[in-house]
Amino acid sequence: MEAEAAKFIGAGLACFALLGAGVGIGNIFGNYLAGALRNPGAAASQSGNLLLGFALCEATGLFGLVVALIMLFAL
């Protein structure tokens, strides 16, 4: 396999982190909404966990994007 083809395959695989981040963000907000509808009194205390989960999912996607861009343009 040529190095150029391997570079594109690796960058494409690194982009799966973006897909996982999108699924993770939807899962976090969906579970928060389901829990808030079941117990509205506890929803306010869980908003910190909601924001932390969102930040971690978003960071995962951004790291995957950075790795893909490094593979495409720096290697």
Give the pLDDT confidence of 58-68 residue by residue, as tens digits.
888 888 889 88
Q: How much is the pTM?
A: 0.71
What is the model's pLDDT at position 27? 82
- Is the confidence at residue 22, as pLDDT, over 80? no
Mean local confidence (pLDDT), 39-53: 86
Mean local confidence (pLDDT), 18-45: 84
Q: How far apart are CA 1 and CA 9, in angstroms?
A: 11
Match 């999912």 to its residue by tokens: 57
Q: How far apart are CA 62 and CA 57, in angstroms?
A: 9
In whole numbers, what is the pLDDT of the chain averaged over residues?
85
CATH code, residues 3-73:
1.20.20.10
Q: How far apart are CA 44 and CA 56, in angstroms?
A: 20
What is the model's pLDDT at position 65? 87
What does the domain layout of the chain look like in residue ranges?
A: 3-73
